[in-house]
A and B are shown apart, each in its own frame.
Chain A
Amino acid sequence: MRLSASGLTCIRGMRVVFENIGFELSTGEVMTVIGPNGAGKSSLLRLMAGLIRASAGRIELEAGDSDLSLPEQAHYQGHLDPLKASLTVAENLAFWTSYLGGGLGAEAALVAIGLEGLADLPAAYLSAGQRRRLSLARLVAVQRPVWLLDEPTSALDAAGQARLAELMRDHLAGGGMIVAATHGPLGIEAKELRLGRVA
């Protein structure tokens, strides 16, 4: 499987966020998107997730499921955690698992992310780090070849970051691909895509 982009341009309002971006990524590879604030890291990820439209250029997923678009074959984790405070941890995860097309049982995903034992707790009681973990649990529960992660390590403590790195390695070993916008190190080998003015 190969993810390739060429000539990507994003214009928001009257401002050119980035221009003529291209990259290639194949199975088992990670690309980190780095750059100063406002360089368009989040915009690039949202663009790949189909949440904003590119002004020019194209993105292609070769040898993917030809019936499905890239967003439909990707997991997107933005700055927000799509969780409902009044639902329990298990209910939140079970909903996204069913909604995104089923997969691993919620129990196994919670163990993988380190939230076992909290299944019956309403999500309102979770800390920011636990909320992020619960949100990331759906990436484990439902199989998708492409992960689009926007600052995934924010709110996670050292243990959480280590666990995420482990999950990412498993995902890559299983033939997945990851594009992550980040300020800090992810803890795994990665290609780099630098946005914005080169310092």
Chain B
Amino acid sequence: MALIDLANPTRFLAFIARVLPWLVVATAIAFAIGLYLVWFSPDDYQQGATVKIMFIHVPNAWLSMVVWAVMSVAALGTLVWRHPLADVAAKSAAPLGAAFTFLALLTGSLWGRPMWGTYWVWDARLTSVLVLFLMYLGLIALWRTVEDPARAGRAAAILTLVGAVNLPIIKFSVDWWNTLHQGASVFRMGGSAIDPTILRPLLVMGLAFSLLFLTLHLAAMRNEILRRRVRALWLMQAHAAQGA
């Protein structure tokens, strides 16, 4: 099967049906290994066991940006190549991206509680991620406002690309804002080099979360394709009743 065949939604559904069970198994195995490694990784001499939340936090923060990149590629697909699945891919990725971003914020703030003595500080990195979260929610709101998927898809694609161009600028300006104000001194993770005993579980967890995203994304795309078919059936039903 050539890659181009996957462009056909029916073939794509068959493809999903074939690979999804394997992906679920792979994700489960990756999480099992990752969590095992995390369990037996040493505590940090400064942070104690709290450091372990980083094994959840870092992959989620990483995915929060990867998902936007995936959506940007899909947005190009919608606008430039007018690919029928691109819009489906973007729409079903947005809630997942928002969820990963939310988890990154949540784990960050839970980690910050013992470190900073407060759940939230307006640290440059946290603030950028919060803005990213708001942008995800805005995109989801756009999809929820417009009923016609094709129209919503093009509008969302434009917004996604504008967001992709804007994100580095936002990041830069938030950094500048933070240094301008000499914000509360924030503990920075890592230092010069990450110890391999930390790095290995982190990479495995990163792989596990990426697999989780892939699995959920394919499942969400399948649901979205089916949802659009239901919509098409409704339209046909209304049209058929017209003749009666």
Contacts and interface: CB of A to CB of B under 8 A. Distances in A.
Contacts of A117: 237, 241
A114 B237 contact: no
Interface string B79-116: 00000000000000000000000000000000000000
B244 A114 contact: yes
A122 B234 contact: yes
A197 B133 CA distance: 65
| Residues of A contacting B: mostly | loop
Interface residues of A, number: 14
Contacts of B242: 127, 129-130
A124 B149 CA distance: 13
Contacts of B237: 117-118, 121, 125
Contacts of A114: 244
A127 B239 contact: yes
B195 interface: no
Nearest to A129: B242
A85 interface: yes
A114 B241 CA distance: 9
Given A86-B147, A127-B239, A121 B234 contact: yes
A125 B232 CA distance: 10
Q: Which of A86, A118, A125 has the most CB of B within 10 A?
A: A125
User: Among the interface residues B147, B234, B238, B244, which one has the most CB atoms of the partner chain A within 10 A?
Assistant: B238
Interface in A25-62: none
Given A124-B147, A125-B238, 18 more contacts: A85-B147, A86-B147, A114-B244, A115-B241, A117-B237, A117-B241, A118-B237, A118-B238, A118-B241, A121-B237, A121-B238, A125-B234, A126-B238, A127-B238, A127-B239, A127-B242, A129-B242, A130-B241
Interface of B: 147, 234-235, 237-239, 241-242, 244
Interface of A: 85-86, 114-115, 117-118, 121-122, 124-127, 129-130
